[in-house]
Structure formats: C-alpha cells, structure tokens
Amino acid sequence: MKRRLQSSWKTLMAAGLAAAMLWCAATDSWAAPLDDAKAAGLIGELPDGFVAAVQPNPPPDIAAIVQQVNAKRRAAYEKIAAEENVSVDQVGALAAEKIKRQAPSGEFFMSPDGTWAPK
C-alpha cells in the first residue's frame, strides 16, 4: 500500500512539475539564456532542483541568470509543494531527477561529492 501511494504521489508530482516547468519555459525570457549557458558549461544543475555557476566568481550575466532561474524555480516549487502538501525540498529533488533524465549529454550536474561532472 505504501509503495502504491508513493508511486502515485511521484506520478502526480511529476505531472504537476512538468506542467509548471513547461509553462515557465514557454513564458519567460530566461529559458534561452539558461540553455545557452548550460550548453557552454557555465551553469549546471544541483541535486536540489536549482542551478549554480560551475566556476566560482561567475561573470555578472551568468550570476544574474542563476539568480533569476532559481527565483522562478523556487516560486514554482513552492506552489506545487503547497498544492500537494509536500516540502519544497521534495519537489526540488523530483525536479532535479527529471531535469537530469531529459538533459542532453555534456550538461553539468553536481555529483554527490560536490564536484561538477558532465552528463
């Protein structure tokens, strides 16, 4: 029973998250700059569903993209978490898994040991 509930919850969360992320990508101007910065290896994905500059002390434009993307993601995660009565951390972790599965090879992800590695 617990496994079935957990599976249903993940399916529901994935559907809601996908809808929220598609809406954000389609309506916000940060999607293209983020994709370009990720393709260039300047921005990577964190295990909590947020992004970060791959190198310390990023240029101002990269830092601005990171800040804007994370603010938008936080708002989306908070909305989903409130609707589903789960934590923002849970939503972010599920988002991170989905993002990694769908990402093209070469994009950077933070590994469990805290280092950046390409997919």
Element (H, E) at 117: strand 116-118
Q: Which residues contact 17 (CB under 8 A, 6 or more apart)?
A: 76, 80, 91, 94, 95, 98
Sheet architecture: strand order including 51-53: 51-53, 43-45, 108-110, 116-118
- The answer, as to whether pTM is greater than 0.85, is no
**Alpha carbon 105 to chain centroid distance?**
16
Please give the chain's pLDDT, 119 residues, in tens.
555 545 555 655 555 555 455 445 433 555 789 999 999 999 999 999 999 999 999 999 999 999 999 999 999 999 999 999 999 999 999 999 999 999 999 999 999 899 999 99
**What does the domain layout of the chain look like in residue ranges?**
2-118
